A and B are shown apart, each in its own frame.
Chain A
Amino acid sequence: QSVLTQPPSVSGVPGQRVTISCTGSSSNIGAGYDVHWYQQLPGTAPKLLIYGNTDRPSGVPDRFYGSKSGSSASLAITGLQAEDEADYYCQSYDSSLGGYVFGAGTEVTV
């Protein structure tokens, strides 16, 4: 049971906008800790996609958009492309556990 809750899967057609939610609690996201998002393509290591709730590392397309409100965060992908098929994970810090926590991951199908 992950501390951060994500939907197991989302799907869309090319060009569509999809959103992945990440719901936490008062000991992690709700406590003000930043949320980061990772993309993991099949058979590869995770890649940092969004950091600090909303910021994109250099090279990440602006089709990927992060937001945070209260105890939840969201990742939106606009203009969905076939190459976006991957697993997406949210991550934060939990003060009760004293360490980092990941969501269970969301599989995006295009």
Chain B
Amino acid sequence: EVQLLESGGGLVQPGGSLRLSCAASRFTLSSYDMSWVRQAPGKGLEWVSSISGSGGDTNYTDSVKGRFAISRDISKNTLFLQMNRLRADDTAIYYCARRQVIGAYAGGMDVWGLGTTVTVSS
């Protein structure tokens, strides 16, 4: 079964850093665009960052630009999100998600992990 499993969340003080990981099973990251999506407590979904299948294109929502960095290790089939200078409003469940590919069409996010919780607090 195709699967994503996030890890690396935890409690961190404001200004601190965390590195989230997302291990992919039964598919190859290099064949898909991947994203991180977060959900603050009691709030809706917010796209955070994406990386193309080739790895050559990365994008970020404005609030994390310059603080977060998306990357991947193809040999380990793992996606990462390096989060620096964390703020209280970064507190959320962080999901990794795969963008579906059907032939030449790239559509919605068809595979999601269970999420990992990041809490930024002193």
The stretch that binds A, out of B15-23, B82-90, B108-116, is B108-116
Please indicate the chain B residues that have their CB under 8 angstroms from the CB of A86 in the complex.
none
Most buried by A among B50, B62, B97, B109: B109
Please indicate the chain A residues that have their CB under 8 angstroms from the CB of B107 in the complex.
34, 36, 51-52, 55
Please indicate the chain A residues that have their CB under 8 angstroms from the CB of B37 in the complex.
46, 102
Interface residues on chain A, size class: 20 to 34
Interface size for B (C-beta < 8 A) is 23
B61 is an interface residue with CB less than 8 A from chain A: yes
B11 is an interface residue with CB less than 8 A from chain A: no
The stretch that binds B, out of A14-22, A24-32, A68-76, A92-100, is A92-100
Q: Which residue of B lies closest to A94 (CB)?
A: B47
- Complex Cα gap A93–B105 (Å): 15
- Complex Cα gap A49–B6 (Å): 22
Are A48 and B100 in contact (CB-based, < 8 A)?
A: yes
Q: Which residue of A lies closest to B47 (CB)?
A: A100
Indicate with 1 or 0, residue by residue over A72-98, a CB within 8 angstroms of chain B CB atoms.
Answer: 000000000000000101010000011
B25 is an interface residue with CB less than 8 A from chain A: no
Which of B45, B100, B105, B112 has a CB less than 8 Å from the CB of A102? Answer: B45
- Complex Cα gap A18–B95 (Å): 29
**A45-B95, A46-B95 are contacts. A99–B47 as well, Cβ < 8 Å?**
yes
B35 is an interface residue with CB less than 8 A from chain A: yes
B68 CB to closest chain A CB (Å) equals 13
B32 is an interface residue with CB less than 8 A from chain A: no
B44 is an interface residue with CB less than 8 A from chain A: yes
Please indicate the chain B residues that have their CB under 8 angstroms from the CB of A2 in the complex.
44
Are A45 and B114 in contact (CB-based, < 8 A)?
A: yes
- Complex Cα gap A45–B117 (Å): 12
- Complex Cα gap A22–B22 (Å): 30
25 A-B interface contacts by CB (under 8 A): A37-B108, A38-B45, A45-B115, A46-B95, A48-B108, A48-B110, A51-B100, A51-B107, A52-B105, A52-B108, A57-B100, A57-B110, A89-B44, A91-B47, A91-B109, A98-B59, A99-B59, A100-B50, A101-B47, A102-B44, A102-B45, A102-B46, A103-B44, A104-B44, A105-B45
